[in-house]
């Protein structure tokens, strides 16, 4: 079975650092009156924002980290890896088309694609149980141990939580609520952490398989 490379841990760990570190530094550089509970992350990288390069760099790093993690997370199913990569690519697109005072349809669409893809990918990341060849070992698939019910349940639970947070943010966004910024930071932060959890789980599983293998 293919092993997750160590550099995937660096990219997965870099995602929340770029995002949360980016908005923390960018908020600190804003003039008095900036409200992170009400104002979005995109406002920190918007055209005309003070020190917009800070959040622009943070979002760029976030998108690149998701792309690299999708490449390295070889234990995940192709559909899940594809959605993780799509989320990273959409993040880079929204960086290329920043929020403007008169609005930016491309930015909003790219942000929507990124949020949805990064919320759904865990549910599709757990490989299906493979069918061993005729006469082969019926206890495990030919490409390694089958995913456990626990790992599948954890992936589905993660997707449910992410979609719940995304739904809360969507309600705030479309109703011009008072917590748009807060809910966006909650869902974006959670989506940045989940790939790290997936990589850590894969590395732990690999270590256990290696230690319990033939001696």
3 state SS for the chain: CCCCCCHHHHHHHHHHHHHHHHHHHHHHCCCCCCCCCCCCCHHHCCCCCCCHHHHHHHHHHHHHHHHHHHHHCCCCCHHHHHHHHHHHHHHHHHHHCCCCCCCCHHHHHHHHHHHHHHHHHHHHHCCCCCCCCCCCCCCCCCCCCCCCHHHHHHHHHHHHHHHHHHHHHHHHHHCCCCCHHHHHHHHHHHHHHHHHHHHHHHHHHHHHHHHCCCC
**pTM of this prediction?**
0.87
Question: Per residue in 147-178, pLDDT tens?
Answer: 556 788 999 999 999 999 999 999 999 999 99
**Residue at 179 is within a domain:** yes
What's the total number of domains in the chain?
A: 1
Query: Could you tell me the residue range of the domain that residue 60 belongs to?
Result: 7-129+148-203
Does residue 139 have a pLDDT over 80? no
**Residue at 53 is within a domain:** yes
**Residue at 34 is within a domain:** yes
């Amino acid at each position: 079975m293919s092993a997750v490379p160590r550099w995937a841990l660096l990219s997965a760990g870099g995602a929340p650092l770029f995002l949360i570190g980016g908005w923390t530094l960018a908020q600190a550089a804003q003039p008095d009156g900036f409200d992170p509970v009400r104002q979005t992350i995109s406002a920190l990288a918007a055209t005309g924002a003070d020190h917009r390069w800070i959040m622009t760099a943070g979002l760029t790093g976030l998108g690149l980290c998701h792309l690299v993690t999708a490449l390295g997370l070889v234990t995940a199913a192709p559909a899940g890896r594809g959605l993780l990569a799509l989320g990273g690519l959409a993040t880079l697109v929204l960086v290329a088309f920043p929020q403007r005072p008169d609005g930016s349809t491309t930015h909003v669409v790219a942000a929507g694609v990124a949020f949805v893809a990064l919320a759904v990918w865990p549910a599709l990341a757990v490989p299906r149980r493979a069918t061993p060849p005729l006469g082969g070992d019926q206890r495990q698939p030919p490409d390694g141990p089958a995913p456990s019910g626990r790992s599948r349940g954890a992936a589905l639970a993660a997707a449910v939580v992410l979609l719940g947070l995304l739904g809360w943010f969507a309600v705030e966004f479309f109703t011009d609520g008072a917590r748009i910024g807060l809910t966006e930071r909650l869902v974006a932060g959670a989506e940045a952490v989940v790939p790290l959890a997936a990589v850590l789980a894969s590395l732990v599983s690999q270590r256990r398989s290696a230690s319990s293998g033939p001696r």
